[in-house]
Structure 1
Amino acid sequence: MPQRYFGIYLQSSLLSLLLLITPYFAVAKITPKPTSSHYSQGHFALSYDTEIHYNHNEAKAVAQQFADFLRPPTGYQLPVTQANNTVKNSVFFKLVEQPVSAEGYQLIVEKEFIEVKASTAQGLFWAMQSLRQLLPAAIESRMPINRQSWLIPQVKIDDEPRFSYRGMHLDVSRHFFDVAFIKRYIDWLAMHKLNVFQWHLTDDQGWRIAIDAYPKLTTIGATRPHTVVGHTYDYKPLFDNQAVAGFYTKAQVKEVLEYAKARHIEVIPEIDIPGHSTAILAAYPELSCHQQPVNVQAQFGIFEDVLCPREDVFEFLAVVYQEVAELFPSQYIHIGGDEVIKKQWLASAEVKKLMQQHNLKTPEQVQSYFIKRVAKIVQALDKKVIGWDEILEGGVADDALIMSWRGTEGGIQAAKMGHQVIMSPYQYIYFDAYQSRNLDEPKAIHGLTGLQDVYQYDPQPNDLNAEQQAYIIGAQGALWTEYIKTPRHAEYMLFPRLSALAETLWSSKDNKSWPDYSQNRLPKLFKRYQQMHINTANSAYKPTISSTIDDTGLHAAVTTEIADIPIYYTLDGTEPTLASIRYNKPILITKETQLRAKSYAAAIGQLVGDARLTLSPHLALTKKITLSHPAAESSAAKLQDGQFAYDQFYSSDDYAIFYDTDLEAIIDLAEPTLVTQVKLGYNSGRHRQLHPPVKIQVLGSNDQHTWQSLAEDTNPQGPVSALSFTKVKVRYLKVIAINSKQSDDPQIPKLPLYIDEIAVN
């Protein structure tokens, strides 16, 4: 055989072999993972002359959506026509009467045709999302792709969701997002087979929906003059000079609702009352108990201004909820009910009178009275009420659905009471939390919710029996936007955690596998997100540094959420590269060291992360430490764990916290020991400036009766104070840090004092 012909033959043979094994590489690549999927050799080749058919008018819209989705990257103008039977080189969307769940579907890909079967248009739509993922990732491009084979592996899929309620929330009050972004958000939910979008439209920082009867809600309540710079709890916070404004007209809301309806997503509005109502009261201060002017909040958190439980307030809310109900076709309205500070109620003569009239003994019962009154308003509009789990306090309204966010306890209580429950615990599925402890993570509110945390969360607690678990109708992720100002930042916080949530809510519990998801399917999702130009977080590939202390010393370990990721590190504070030391076992730390690490993510093709931790194997490790304040004793170990916290983002778990007292710690070195320095770590934590102590003192003793002053710092600046002194031999060290006795706010008697380490050298 001539050489050039042999080369052509070899290329042809390799191509045939590639096409033969392609389906096996494609096995189980769909996320969320289907109930069952059986792959065969072969593929269906989508081409310019493929036809798209449907058998019923209700299936026509899905068939047309599929053709529209294919057009930009392929350039194919595929005809969409009604047919009775499946024919060669066609994709057939078929409504059938077989016993399939309302959202279930069957997808059959043969070499010569594709059949999509479901008993509802919604089921066909979810099937289309699976078919979309069977195509190469390039199908996600909205620009033409040349020289691309659009091959779909031969497979039979039977699939249906585990939960009927699969939701995702977006806060547009703290930062406003335009209609174009809301539509993209809905597209993302649809791609991941989520079927509920909760639109958090009102809060202290802005009212975002037009209400005809009360125009000042948007002319006044939709704008704040500036926003806190940094974290809202920073020491001496600053503000920018940029107004945040915006709201949705009723026409825009209708536009979004039509868009969501076409994607089989229910949009639930949230109008949060009676707390988180500063924007309402800025517009209509007469609705408060004090009836004094207030401003739309420029900081974040929980505030004292609340709606007053008066008849004029309920009349106001009746009008608001009526306009909302007329606009939104959803069966639900979310009324909030969370984080209500009751101080203004307790100071109000009107509320005291109300409590006497209705035999209300506690502020929680006043809240229950308020929520029940609002629930009746909503129920009279033929809507069901959803509220955060605080509405359980003092007695809950009949037929209210409980959204459990402060953990799972509220959901468990509600299920035992016979209320339907939507789980939304902040520890697992709040996407405003950090995704790793690396320093290259963007600013977030607090806490750590990694990809694996989301994936392994189960909405049905084991301490409920089967009957009670049936009241858990699903779960909902949340994206609060205090520190999320831009769409790109929102994308980073959503992806890929949104895919993990989707699998948690769609796939059966027994069908889930973290190794399969993280190692086999997540890399494919990254390629798909890349084609969609989504700013995807690679946090699950980033390293995490931890340490332990044993008889041999202080040891550092470096791990990643996803197994078998190569990690490279340095011990001199320099940035790791592929030429740095590769991690393979815990590292013995023999002197104060800043350990830095990066990992190599093959799915991305680069080193990722910036993990840092300063470790100190000092003399006081494992030694007895006594705190003068008994309440802090439980956190004393954090003062002697060999870690300084300033290399990390803020986490309360790093600190011994003194809310109402000074630090006074006595360290027993077990025997007289030469010491020359004490280092105190405080006021640390990336993205959150904590409050420094007023003064630090170090004293030494050999009998705990006579104390010698060794050093003091009268102007601590942080994040670490190193108090050095002439070498002295002592058994006991007393370290005192004086808490600030007064903040800038005269209502706060003392500021919290956070101490992360007392290192003795």
Structure 2
Amino acid sequence: MNQSVFYTFLQSSLLLFSLLLTPLCAALQITPKPLSASVGNDHFNLTHDSKITFNQQQAQSVAQQLATFLRSPTGYQLPVSQADSTTKNSIAFKIVDIPLSQEGYALSVTPEGVEIQANTATGLFWGMQSLRQLLPAEIESRMPINQANWAIPAVEIKDQPRFSYRGMHLDVSRHFFDVAFVKRYIDWLAMHKFNVFQWHLTDDQGWRIAIDAYPKLTEIGATRPHTVVGHTYDYQPLFDNKTVSGFYTKAQIKDVVEYAQARHIEVIPEIDIPGHSSAMLAAYPELSCHQLAVKVQPQFGIFEDVLCPREDVFAFLGVVYKEVAELFPSQYIHIGGDEVIKKQWLESPEVKKLMQQHQLTTPEQVQSYFIKRVAKIVQNLGKTVIGWDEILEGGVADDAVIMSWRGTEGGIQAAKMGHQVIMSPYQYIYFDAYQSRNLDEPKAIHGLSSLKNVYQYEPQPSHLSAEQQAFIIGAQGALWTEYIKTPRHAEYMLFPRLSALAETLWSNKTQKSWSDYSQYRLPALLKRYQQMHLNTAYSSHKPIISSEINGQQLVATIISEIAGTAIYYTLDGSEPTLQSQQYQKPLVITDETQLRARSYVSDLGQLVGDARLTLSPHLALGKEITLASLAAEGSATKLQDGQFAYDQFYSVDDYAIFYDTDLEAVIDLDASTQVQQVKLGFDSGRHRQLHPPTHIQVLGSSDKQQWQTLAEVNNPRGPMSVLSFAPVSVRFLKVVAINSKQSDDIQIPKLPLYIDEIAVY
């Protein structure tokens, strides 16, 4: 029986055993949820005369870490000593042969003492993290707590991780974070039993790692003069006057790597090539095909400047990756490989010659050639390449590990090809996305990934065979920092979503339960985060407003991801208070209304959230609508669902989108109807500035043959245009909005026209 089959059998056996135990381990309030647990009726009291022991030298460091961790909140100077047997009133760490994986552990708490057993120091360390959560939340305080005793409930736990790769990423290129923050980040990962930290060190906006052979990489590439204000894809982007600069010395990187190793976390560096290389090319422009000056980018996105597939470039990268390999003992080096614009390659005589020499017929094959050359460099350094799923295009190096970020499709393809896969789909586990649609959320890049969305993500697609699923070695969350400038903002985006992903990666999927997690273990975690003074998001408690058309009525519903949350609302746009109406049942909306809602969190003793949605039961609600252009993305029903998007943050799902074409919509009102106003929504109004139309025209007709212009406006400004006219009876309305279409931005070659509602009154 091979190792993976044995662990699967063992895990199934332990799971069956755990189901026979009562009460359920939900009462333990440990996250991620252990594989099996039973709870006794007694407890162990940690006191000033308790002891900490270890049975082997390799267990000593874990014992010392626990003593150090306990010292600040308790004030206890607990002695740490070697002992083969467990003595009374002690916490014992023992490396012994037990029938669990190398990261597994057994934790026993009785009134006499605590014993943690594991095959390795890593298993002991994860056992210590569970012990930490058995202690009162005040143990997380780094200041002394005057507490008579520290009670630990009597338990028996056997636990091991589901996945061998449990990763979390941090982008320090877009905004630089100092060593002290990176160490705190690693501590947070360790607390949640992650074992991999991917350090995204280079991108278009900054080079953050010292390379001795090429000092200009940090002298020039580590600094940009300013940063875009608002969103990089705004209609009229603005810039601040604040320089962003910073990089890590080799001594600092070694310090961080050692710090992570002590917490049983592997640090994987990412040096992104051949795209996302503006900072590298700003320092050494001769590495491009055009060899012209390049700037460190003040905006975010995708840029044309890429490395050229020439021998001098591969020689340069060979030196860079050699120095990187010497700093990081990890078996992996991440080489990026994503979002490569191939325009400069197609224009280069050198690349055309290369394609002829190697019988390459497509730019994707040129990318494959580039990636395979770099993979060989990394392999010769004794490392394995990880790349984003674009490296599959055109062919991929045999031993490359695929990190699937654009969805799950790349990971599925790679698993079928026999490549190891790390799932990292942005739709689920990118923590730079919004956590709710409430307006008190800080700026995020785009999209929505709520706590429940993260928790319910499953890395192994069910339609893959068991053999193919085995190639998916785990998953990795990502914190990209385009719009995250400060540690406090980073904390908000991480917590508590980090805990939800931790449970997905560690716990047996058949044991996962959203109700168990959200009702029992999440509240305990939130109290722990409070003691850690983390800027925690309570977004999962916040209201979610939705509406639907029911016959001729527009009906609004307000819910929260956390069951039982009390929600208060107003219908006049005023801020809800505890004296406002408490939501009990769906609301029938009879007039244009700004519905606002907030949730009460009892543990905080306050209202949270600011959910707003402007709703309008207008005359065209749910009527038949015909679009002249079939190029629109998104359902035409978005144009007549009774919801305006302007008082929410941007979400692509709110709009019908017209790329390089105009809006021309004909609405059938079913019968001759008196109308006098049309409202056209075309901007989000929050956190994004969308391209407005250049002209809007409203026409009316009784037969769809003869049209009368009712109102029009040039160069409207958002987020919404109101076109009023003398009352007129018509059956059909035609609404035209002209897209400006022109763009000089390579990132937006065709300007999108976003329309979220055509309201008729």
Whole-angstrom CA distance in 1 between matches of 2:348 and 2:145: 67
CA deviations on 1:418-437 (whole Å, 9 max, x unpaired) are: 00000000000000000000
Paired residue for 2:293? 293
Paired residue for 2:20? none
Distance 1:79 1:339, change over 3 A: same
Paired residue for 1:336? 336
Q: TM-score, normalised by structure 1?
A: 0.96
Does 262-271 or 626-635 show the bigger shift? 626-635
Q: Aligned partner of 1:308: which letter? A: C
How far did 1:467 drift?
0.5
Is 1:48 paired with 2:56?
Answer: no
Distance 1:119 1:305, change over 3 A: same
Distance 1:702 1:599, change over 3 A: same
Paired residue for 1:181? 181
Is 1:489 paired with 2:495?
Answer: no
Paired residue for 2:115? 115
Distance 1:744 1:416, change over 3 A: closer
Distance 1:744 1:302, change over 3 A: closer
Residues 531-610 of structure 1 correspond to what in structure 2 (within 5 A)? Answer: 531-610=531-610
Whether the aligned pair in 2 keeps the contact of 1:95 and 1:118 (CA below 8 Å) is: yes
How far did 1:635 drift?
2.1
Paired residue for 1:67? 67
Residues 374-385 of structure 1 correspond to what in structure 2 (within 5 A)? Answer: 374-385=374-385
Paired residue for 2:191? 191
Q: Aligned partner of 1:699: which letter? A: L
How far did 1:739 drift?
1.1
Q: Aligned partner of 1:532: which letter? A: M
CA deviations on 1:548-605 (whole Å, 9 max, x unpaired) are: 0021411011111111111111100000111111111111011110000011122322
For the residue of structure 2 that corresponds to 1:211, the secondary structure is coil
Paired residue for 2:213? 213
Q: Aligned partner of 2:345: which letter? A: W
Q: Aligned partner of 1:500: which letter? A: A
For the residue of structure 1 that corresponds to 2:72, the secondary structure is helix
Distance 1:358 1:165, change over 3 A: same
Paired residue for 1:222? 222
Q: Aligned partner of 1:565: which letter? A: T
Whether the aligned pair in 2 keeps the contact of 1:626 and 1:633 (CA below 8 Å) is: no
Whole-angstrom CA distance in 1 between matches of 2:232 and 2:747: 17
For the residue of structure 1 that corresponds to 2:379, the secondary structure is helix
How far did 1:28 drift?
2.7
Distance 1:744 1:319, change over 3 A: closer
Is 1:504 paired with 2:500?
Answer: no
How far did 1:42 drift?
0.9
Paired residue for 2:619? 619
Residues 350-365 of structure 1 correspond to what in structure 2 (within 5 A)? Answer: 350-365=350-365
How far did 1:633 drift?
7.5
Distance 1:750 1:121, change over 3 A: closer
Whether the aligned pair in 1 keeps the contact of 2:566 and 2:599 (CA below 8 Å) is: yes
For the residue of structure 2 that corresponds to 1:647, the secondary structure is coil
Paired residue for 1:710? 710
Does 561-570 or 445-454 show the bigger shift? 561-570
Whole-angstrom CA distance in 1 between matches of 2:304 and 2:705: 48
CA deviations on 1:153-198 (whole Å, 9 max, x unpaired) are: 0000000000000000000000000000000000000000000000
Paired residue for 1:263? 263
Whether the aligned pair in 1 keeps the contact of 2:634 and 2:657 (CA below 8 Å) is: no
Distance 1:339 1:617, change over 3 A: same
Distance 1:44 1:403, change over 3 A: same
Residues 401-416 of structure 1 correspond to what in structure 2 (within 5 A)? Answer: 401-416=401-416
Paired residue for 2:307? 307
Paired residue for 1:145? 145
Paired residue for 2:6? none
Whether the aligned pair in 2 keeps the contact of 1:640 and 1:758 (CA below 8 Å) is: yes
CA deviations on 1:355-378 (whole Å, 9 max, x unpaired) are: 000000100000000000000000
How far did 1:462 drift?
0.7
Paired residue for 2:464? 464
For the residue of structure 2 that corresponds to 1:397, the secondary structure is coil
Paired residue for 2:644? 644
Whole-angstrom CA distance in 2 between matches of 1:216 and 1:111: 62
Whether the aligned pair in 1 keeps the contact of 2:657 and 2:753 (CA below 8 Å) is: yes
Paired residue for 1:273? 273
Aligned length: 739
Paired residue for 2:719? 719
Q: Aligned partner of 2:280: which letter? A: I
Q: Aligned partner of 1:432: which letter? A: D
Paired residue for 1:735? 735
Paired residue for 1:530? 530
How far did 1:746 drift?
9.4
Whether the aligned pair in 2 keeps the contact of 1:35 and 1:160 (CA below 8 Å) is: yes
Whether the aligned pair in 1 keeps the contact of 2:25 and 2:34 (CA below 8 Å) is: no
CA deviations on 1:458-509 (whole Å, 9 max, x unpaired) are: 1000110001000000000000000000000000000000000000000001
How far did 1:685 drift?
4.2
For the residue of structure 2 that corresponds to 1:27, the secondary structure is helix
Is 1:324 paired with 2:324?
Answer: yes
| Identity value in percent | 77
Whether the aligned pair in 1 keeps the contact of 2:105 and 2:124 (CA below 8 Å) is: yes
Is 1:441 paired with 2:447?
Answer: no
Distance 1:633 1:418, change over 3 A: closer
Whole-angstrom CA distance in 2 between matches of 1:566 and 1:521: 19
Whole-angstrom CA distance in 2 between matches of 1:634 and 1:657: 6
How far did 1:149 drift?
2.3
CA deviations on 1:389-436 (whole Å, 9 max, x unpaired) are: 000000011100000000000000000000000000000000000000
How far did 1:751 drift?
2.1
Whole-angstrom CA distance in 1 between matches of 2:443 and 2:746: 29
How far did 1:662 drift?
1.2
Whether the aligned pair in 1 keeps the contact of 2:174 and 2:206 (CA below 8 Å) is: yes
Whole-angstrom CA distance in 2 between matches of 1:141 and 1:697: 62
Whether the aligned pair in 2 keeps the contact of 1:740 and 1:750 (CA below 8 Å) is: no
Distance 1:359 1:171, change over 3 A: same
Which residues of structure 1 form unaligned runs of 5+? 1-22
How far did 1:26 drift?
7.9
Whether the aligned pair in 1 keeps the contact of 2:26 and 2:516 (CA below 8 Å) is: no
Q: Aligned partner of 1:636: which letter? A: A
For the residue of structure 2 that corresponds to 1:413, the secondary structure is helix
How far did 1:623 drift?
1.0
Whole-angstrom CA distance in 2 between matches of 1:193 and 1:642: 45
Whether the aligned pair in 1 keeps the contact of 2:632 and 2:659 (CA below 8 Å) is: no
Distance 1:421 1:748, change over 3 A: closer
Whole-angstrom CA distance in 2 between matches of 1:386 and 1:254: 21
How far did 1:24 drift?
9.4
Whole-angstrom CA distance in 2 between matches of 1:175 and 1:182: 13
Whole-angstrom CA distance in 2 between matches of 1:247 and 1:419: 33
For the residue of structure 2 that corresponds to 1:440, the secondary structure is coil
Whole-angstrom CA distance in 2 between matches of 1:108 and 1:681: 61
Q: Aligned partner of 1:210: which letter? A: A
Paired residue for 2:10? none
Whole-angstrom CA distance in 2 between matches of 1:466 and 1:481: 36
How far did 1:744 drift?
5.8
For the residue of structure 1 that corresponds to 2:501, the secondary structure is helix
Paired residue for 2:672? 672
Q: Aligned partner of 2:709: which letter? A: S
For the residue of structure 1 that corresponds to 2:709, the secondary structure is strand
Residues 682-693 of structure 1 correspond to what in structure 2 (within 5 A)? Answer: 682-693=682-693
For the residue of structure 2 that corresponds to 1:139, the secondary structure is helix
Paired residue for 1:11? none
Paired residue for 1:252? 252
